Amino acid sequence: MTAAEQPATAAGQTPAVVDISTVDISTLAATARLAQTLAQQASWLRGKVVYLYGDLGAGKTTLVRFLLQALGETGKVKSPTYGLMECYQPANCPQPGMKILHLDLYRLQDPEELEYLGLRDLLDADTLLLVEWPQRGAGVLPAPDATIRLSQAADQRSAEIHPQALAAAASART
């Protein structure tokens, strides 16, 4: 979404949003740069839900790892594939008190299994929820504020970012 496509706020100002549509992430350095760009939007990310789509090996967990590190996480960032969820509260986060929940629903058999995680109780205005394989949690997960679709073809990888409710949310806060 370009700045020209974003709705103006009541004051006539364009809201601050992630201004990315498709980004080449064929290298780890490029993926880290995208994560850094997203982390610079930490004030917007707080309290939001982001779905990550992509085939196995597309780079979803790698992008989340780099994003967590860019948000100040200094500990080990592991894939939540077997435990379904990892929780982080980076000490150096530019948004003090911000929590990040990373879900990987690849092994989820039934969306109702999410109820056992107590996900609804964990979500609040300070929590960023990052969900890999969100289609497996359909009907139980909250609606996304943004989606990131990772794709790969030969040696090329790309991330396409769709900020569904981003502009509307930013407009509502101004």
pLDDT at residue 164, rounded to an integer = 66
pLDDT at residue 30, rounded to an integer = 94
Q: What is the pLDDT of residues 83-110, one digit of tens each?
A: 788 999 887 777 888 899 999 999 888 8
Map out the domains of the chain with their CATH numbers.
26-173 (3.40.50.300)
Res. 117: pLDDT tops 90: no
Tally: H helices and E strands in the chain? 6, 7
Q: What is the pLDDT of residues 161-172, one digit of tens each?
A: 887 644 444 444
* CB-based burial label for 22 (10 Å; 0-12, 13-18, 19+): exposed
Please list, in sequence order, all residues whose beta carbon lies within 8 angstroms of the beta carbon of residue 53, skipping any fewer than 6 positions away. 60, 133, 134, 135, 147, 148, 149, 150
Q: What is the mean pLDDT of residues 38-66?
A: 90
Average pLDDT over all residues of the chain: 80
d(CA 126, CA 90): 12
Q: What is the mean pLDDT of residues 12-17?
A: 40
Res. 137: pLDDT tops 70: yes
| HEC-encoded secondary structure of 24-93 | ECCCHHHHHHHHHHHHCCHHHHCCCEEEEECCCCCCHHHHHHHHHHHCCCCCCCCCCCCCCEEEECCCCC
d(CA 132, CA 149): 10
Q: What predicted TM-score, i.e. pTM, was given to this entire model?
A: 0.79
Q: What is the mean pLDDT of residues 136-162?
A: 90
Res. 134: pLDDT tops 90: yes
